[in-house]
Amino acid sequence: MVMLRFMTGNRNKVREAELALSQYGIGIVMETGLRKVEIQSDSLEEIVTYALRLNCVDWLVVEDDGLFIDSLNGFPGPYSEYVYRTIGLRGVLKLMQGVVNRGAYFKSVVGLCLGGGVKLFTGVVRGVLSEEPRGSGGFGYDPIFIPEGYGETFAEMGVELKAKLSHRSMAFKRLASYVTSLTGPGQGA
């Protein structure tokens, strides 16, 4: 069985990736022995590619995400982690006070190292920002993001449903299809 090594400090990401990959017979473990170097860039693709090129060993995976808010021209995007740590959910909602267009999307870029090269996979989920943080599940911006077609925030729905709908799930499923096309379903490399 293919076993991916996910270079991340975020266990929630590993759990969600695991759920997305389970139907493909691809495993994933948290890689704690390598340090993820994050450059500052307006491009998630660049951040992921740089982090992987420093340690490009087979089956190593890195993911970077951002929340892109329509009425703020895509802010905070690749700076989502910094904004979360500084002004937090309350600060973001304050920026959105009185704003009618609450549309936003999450984007995930997952990079895979294989044969010395980096392959990228992208996932996007559109939705709207809630007026107030709601729910206790998930992490990060989950309490204020309501995916399109649903009434609950990601933090209100269980991890299984989030894993079906999310940007992360879409990117990891695309990776899984690629890996399956190389190795065959559920087989090792």
Q: Give me the sign of the Cα torsion angle 176, 23, 9, 141.
A: positive
Nearer to ligand ITT, 148 or 189 (CB): 148
**Among residues 24, 62, 23, 20, which one has the least CA distance to residue 163?**
20
For residues 63 and 168, the answer to whether their CB atoms sit within 8 Å is yes
Q: Decide if 58 is catalytic.
A: no
Residue 61 · residue 5 · CB < 8 Å: yes
107 binds ligand ITT (CB under 6 A): no
Backbone phi, psi, residue 63, to 5°: -130, 140
Site string for ligand ITT, 27-66 (x = CB under 6 A): ---------x--------------------------xxx-
Distance (Å, whole) CA 18 – CA 87: 30
Asked if 81 touches ligand ITT (CB under 6 A), the answer is yes
Q: Which stretch binds ligand ITT (CB under 6 A): 20-28, 87-95, 140-148, 175-183?
A: 140-148
User: Minimum distance from CB of 87 to ligand ITT (Å)?
Assistant: 12
Alpha carbon separation from 112 to 9, 104, 164, 179 (Å, rounded): 17, 27, 21, 10
Stretches 116-124, 135-143, 170-178, 180-188: which one binds ligand ITT (CB under 6 A)? 135-143
**Which chain residues interact with ligand ITT by CB under 6 A?**
8-10, 13, 36, 63-65, 67, 80-81, 84, 138-142, 154, 166, 168
Show which residues are catalytic: 64
